[in-house]
Amino acid sequence: MKRYLFSTLSVLITAAAISPVANAAEIKDPTLHQLRMANIDARNKEELKPTLQQQRMANMDERNKAVAFEGSSSTTFPKISSESFMDAL
């Protein structure tokens, strides 16, 4: 009985002593699933960045809006003053 107990105990102790060394020596390559997920993440991050064409179009749109706003500021109504009121009559 003592022999079985000591042999079991010695096997457990040696296994516990060897396992960290075995885990450290093991090469941990990323799995295929991890590689695919990293690829999808990289593509999603690239899609969020505006392309050069999108930046140019946004810049042109802002300039066109600014020009349209400046052009619409003049009105055809006469100014509120005695001279313009008399001219309107």
Domain ranges within the chain, ordered by starting residue: 42-71
Task: Please list, in sequence order, all residues whose beta carbon lies within 8 angstroms of the beta carbon of residue 30, skipping any fewer than 6 positions away.
Answer: 38
Residue pair 78/85 in contact (Cβ under 8 Å)? The answer is: yes
pLDDT in tens, the chain (89 residues): 888 888 898 988 988 887 776 666 666 788 899 899 999 888 887 777 778 898 999 999 998 888 776 666 555 555 555 555 555 55
* Residue 23 burial (CB count, 10 A): 9
Q: Which tokens go with 80?
A: 């509120």
Residue pair 66/58 in contact (Cβ under 8 Å)? The answer is: no
